[in-house]
């Protein structure tokens, strides 16, 4: 459900056990500070987790929205989504004396949201947390839906929990501090929703790429993406549906996560690896006759028009990529589950994909023996 108040849009996510708001707008510090004040008055101890880059880039936001709260800074980047930083966050929560009425605020991109959310899910077997995403990618995807987790050597997001936030604050003004490469990476998750559920969005971006936080379409695009994800999460919170459901949000991710794992976390931004995964998913869909070669070319053109890679920057070993895919959390009964497009804007899950087909797709993207 979407409601509007002045320049702030509120989307309500409703799961089987809880309901929470996503606020989208520009200049949300006062609204966030108001909730923080209410929580403190109710007796909650509050602690903030962020990364060093975000803290440095947003001094006024921390002062006006989170002034006076204890803050833990972790290193920036995907490598912080590991056990050592998870333990640091737990030690921080212990040092600040957070009890079961405590609240943790995650201020950062997907890494901070996932890391902090998992710590909140684990501390005292679960305390509340608030998401303040600071990247486009985290605004439209990772901050919504309650998936939290960390990476281990075996693969990405293999350790984690479903733990919904009590609120999400998406302040679009924050994106002015985002490097252009990070903004482009966020657009990968935006176009994902166009490919799997919103052909009109795909066509709009195809006609005129969205390349800047200043674009007047940004607010409506973020709202559109968040509502699509909220609808999917409402229907299948823990990705248990036998077909379709929340698994559709993994379009391109089985390929993309393998690229991240084999290349080494940090070599590709998440959105960059996923963009290559979209090309693989389109080629897979084309192979099985769901979409045409023209549609695949449209996907590639859309990706490239937003400054994202459509093939591997340098060769990766096929054997390593297959090994990484085999450890993906989407494996069921020993088989990989892929997401294909029935058409642009319509997606479905597919389990019976032959390994030789996947091999050819990897080679077409630049993988080698």
Assigned fold of 2-177: Rossmann fold (3.40.50)
Contact 85, 112 (CB under 8 A): no
In whole angstroms, how large is the CA radius of gyration of the chain? 20
Helices (H), 101-169: 110-122, 136-137
Contact 163, 129 (CB under 8 A): yes
Write down the pLDDT at residue 5: 60
Separation CA 132–CA 139 (nearest Å): 8
**CA-based nearest residue to 21, from 3, 45, 7:** 3
Write down the pLDDT at residue 112: 97
The model carries a pTM of 0.89
Catalytically active residues, by annotation: 125, 147, 189, 229, 239, 246, 250, 253, 257, 270
Copy the structure tokens of residue 106. Answer: 């995650």
User: Boundaries of CATH 1.20.1090.10 in the chain?
Assistant: 180-365
Contact 88, 77 (CB under 8 A): no
Separation CA 68–CA 36 (nearest Å): 11
Contact 188, 141 (CB under 8 A): no
Separation CA 340–CA 321 (nearest Å): 19
Write down the pLDDT at residue 296: 98
Going residue by residue through the chain, which has 369 residues, state the pLDDT in tens, using 9 for 90 and above: 555 566 899 998 887 778 899 999 999 999 999 999 999 999 999 999 999 999 999 999 999 999 999 999 999 988 899 999 999 999 999 999 999 999 999 999 999 999 999 999 999 999 999 999 999 999 998 898 889 999 998 888 899 999 999 999 999 999 999 999 999 999 999 999 999 999 999 999 999 999 999 999 999 999 999 988 888 888 877 777 766 788 888 999 999 999 999 998 889 999 999 999 999 999 999 999 999 999 999 999 999 999 999 999 999 999 999 999 988 766 665 678 899 999 999 999 998 899 999 999 999 999 999
Separation CA 64–CA 192 (nearest Å): 34
User: Boundaries of CATH 3.40.50.1970 in the chain?
Assistant: 2-177
CATH of 180-365, one of 1.10.287.990, 1.20.1090.10, 1.10.3720.10, 2.70.98.30: 1.20.1090.10
User: 113-137 burial string, b = 16+ CB within 10 Å, else e?
Assistant: bbbbbbbbbbbeeebbbbbbbbbbb
């Amino acid at each position: 459900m979407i409601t509007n108040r002045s320049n702030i849009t509120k989307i309500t996510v409703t799961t089987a056990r809880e309901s929470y708001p996503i606020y989208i707008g520009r200049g949300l510090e006062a609204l966030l500070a108001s909730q923080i004040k209410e929580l403190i008055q109710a007796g909650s101890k509050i602690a903030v987790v962020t990364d060093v880059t975000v803290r440095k880039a947003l001094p006024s936001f921390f002062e006006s929205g989170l002034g006076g709260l204890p803050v833990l800074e972790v290193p920036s980047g995907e490598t912080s989504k590991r056990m050592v930083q998870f333990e640091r966050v737990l030690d921080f929560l212990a040092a600040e004396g957070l009890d079961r009425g405590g609240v943790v605020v995650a201020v950062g991109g997907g890494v901070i949201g996932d890391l902090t959310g998992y710590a909140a899910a684990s501390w005292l077997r679960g305390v509340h947390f608030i998401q303040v995403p600071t990247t486009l990618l985290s605004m439209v995807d990772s901050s919504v839906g309650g998936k939290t987790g960390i990476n281990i050597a075996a693969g990405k997001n293999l350790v984690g929990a479903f733990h919904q936030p009590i609120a999400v604050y998406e302040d679009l003004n924050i994106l002015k501090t985002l490097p252009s490469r990070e903004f482009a990476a966020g657009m990968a998750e935006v176009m994902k929703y166009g490919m799997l559920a919103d052909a009109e969005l795909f066509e709009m971006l195809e006609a005129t790429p969205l390349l800047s936080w200043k674009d007047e379409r940004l607010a409506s695009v973020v709202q559109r993406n968040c509502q699509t994800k909220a609808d999917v999460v409402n229907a299948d919170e823990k990705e248990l549906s036998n077909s379709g459901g929340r698994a559709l949000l993994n379009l391109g991710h089985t390929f993309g996560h393998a690229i991240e794992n084999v290349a080494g976390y940090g070599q590709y931004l998440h959105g960059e690896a996923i963009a290559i995964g979209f090309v693989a998913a389109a080629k897979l869909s084309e192979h099985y006759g769901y979409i045409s070669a023209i549609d695949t070319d449209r996907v590639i053109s859309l990706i490239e028009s937003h400054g994202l890679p459509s093939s591997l920057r340098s060769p990766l070993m096929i054997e390593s990529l297959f090994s990484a895919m085999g450890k993906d959390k989407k494996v069921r009964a020993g088989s990989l589950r892929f997401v294909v497009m029935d058409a642009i804007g319509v997606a479905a899950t597919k389990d019976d994909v032959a390994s030789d087909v996947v091999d050819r797709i990897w080679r077409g993207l630049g993988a080698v023996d």
